[in-house]
Chain A
């Protein structure tokens, strides 16, 4: 084990992770009681004995918005000057018309549902979230706005990091092996645009496999093998053995 590697252990609420003095990077999931560090959820506790840091990867949980997160949401309500958007968080998010349209609106003259109506999909960034009210999202920015084509895959928000991988390795693998255009949103929704239906199916299956096996090491290699096998099965590539 390299000295830079943290050791990981599967823990449940109330379980002691370790003792001593550490810096806790995930304060909601690790609490200190009587000199011992205790887990508060089911997940993987990461203990780095060198940097003396403790972090936590929850295996279950809802999406808690953070400012600057990219999220994919569904419009659930249309107001006079804003839309309410479901971003799979405990709170619905607000998208102001002046933000989306880039200009003020006159509610007396304009009906917002002509721009975005219930059921429409948007990609946005979390602009404000201070817990005193629901998050405010913005579509000002490159690649943000209404989604007109593609398929959305949903996974548990706590597994998103695995779909991206260390330094983006898993994300690059998925894009490279399938040729699909993938946008991974922090709230567990993934927008994919694929050259054909078979590749889309393979990608969705791969994403769900990542979600299921997120906690088992060696995932990146397994996913690569899986995608290749599926492509062979569907006759998309010839069966010339496994990749090295």
Chain B
């Protein structure tokens, strides 16, 4: 199978984007009726739903902590979300991503406000086209805000890749599969903290530094969209006459 040409002659990517361009981003909050908080986030064709239940008691008392809430986080892909049908059983990748996403949210959630409870975060990937874990972090963050759970800041995620030697922002699946590096990152921009950082691929020290800068730029744009989405829920309410 021939390698896909990821960068065109004109320097644009296979889908026509500039190297520093995000895919179209859509966000909605409060999309589920029975969850304490929820959000639907789309990065291009990647579509992710996050639901928060809690803070609540759970029967497994031995898991609870006396001075803070525990976070329980599940990243799960629907079987038809990927090109090849994904088996319903949890894969090692989903287990790792559940951990990595939970750890991306732990530093901002003020869990000490709800001791002896669990805050459950369920993430369902409805359609996967690259950047699912970063869209998941953003969706989970919005869902937590929608549930009214106090947080030090919102956390948003974005991935930087390297295709044909060029660093590109918000890689899609094709760029992830055939590119040379995939660096997902999640940041809480107002408090300046990196809460998720992985690199799958190889970068030189200089490329890494450039990749971080590019990621932070993209993250700021996504963060602004997230804040606006939360506010519009209230500003957009028309007074019925």
Listed in ascending order, the chain A residues whose CB lies under 8 Å from chain B are: 10, 12-16, 28-29, 31, 33, 38, 40-42, 58-62, 64, 90-92, 131-134, 158, 209, 212-213, 215-216, 222
Contact = CB atoms under 8 A, between A and B. Distances in A.
B3 to A, nearest CB: 42
A171 B188 CA distance: 41
A33 B192 CA distance: 12
B146 A40 contact: no
A41 B151 CA distance: 6
A31 B237 CA distance: 28
B146 A216 contact: no
B55 interface: yes
A105 B188 CA distance: 55
Contact of B231 (A12, A28, A41, A92): A12
Given A60-B37, A92-B57, A131-B115, A13 B191 contact: no
A59 to B, nearest CB: 6
B150 A28 contact: yes
A14 B152 contact: yes
Given A90-B114, A91-B116, A12 B145 contact: yes
A13 B148 contact: no
Q: Is the interface of B mostly helix, strand, loop or mixed?
A: loop
Interface in B209-237: 227, 230-231, 233-235, 237
Given A12-B145, A14-B191, 5 more contacts: A29-B150, A60-B146, A61-B148, A90-B57, A91-B57
B231 A10 contact: yes
B184 interface: no
Using C-beta atoms within 8 Å of the partner chain, give the interface range for chain B. 35 or more
B237 A213 contact: yes
B190 A15 contact: yes
Interface in B137-151: 145-151
B153 interface: yes
B36 interface: yes
A133 B146 CA distance: 26
Nearest to A212: B237
A10 B240 contact: no
A182 to B, nearest CB: 22
Contact of B239 (A12, A28, A90, A222): A222
B152 A158 contact: no
A62 B55 contact: yes
B55 A90 contact: yes
B152 A42 contact: no
B70 interface: no
Interface string B43-58: 0000000000011110
B186 interface: no
B117 interface: yes
B153 A41 contact: no
Contact of B152 (A13, A134, A222): A13
Contacts of A158: 148
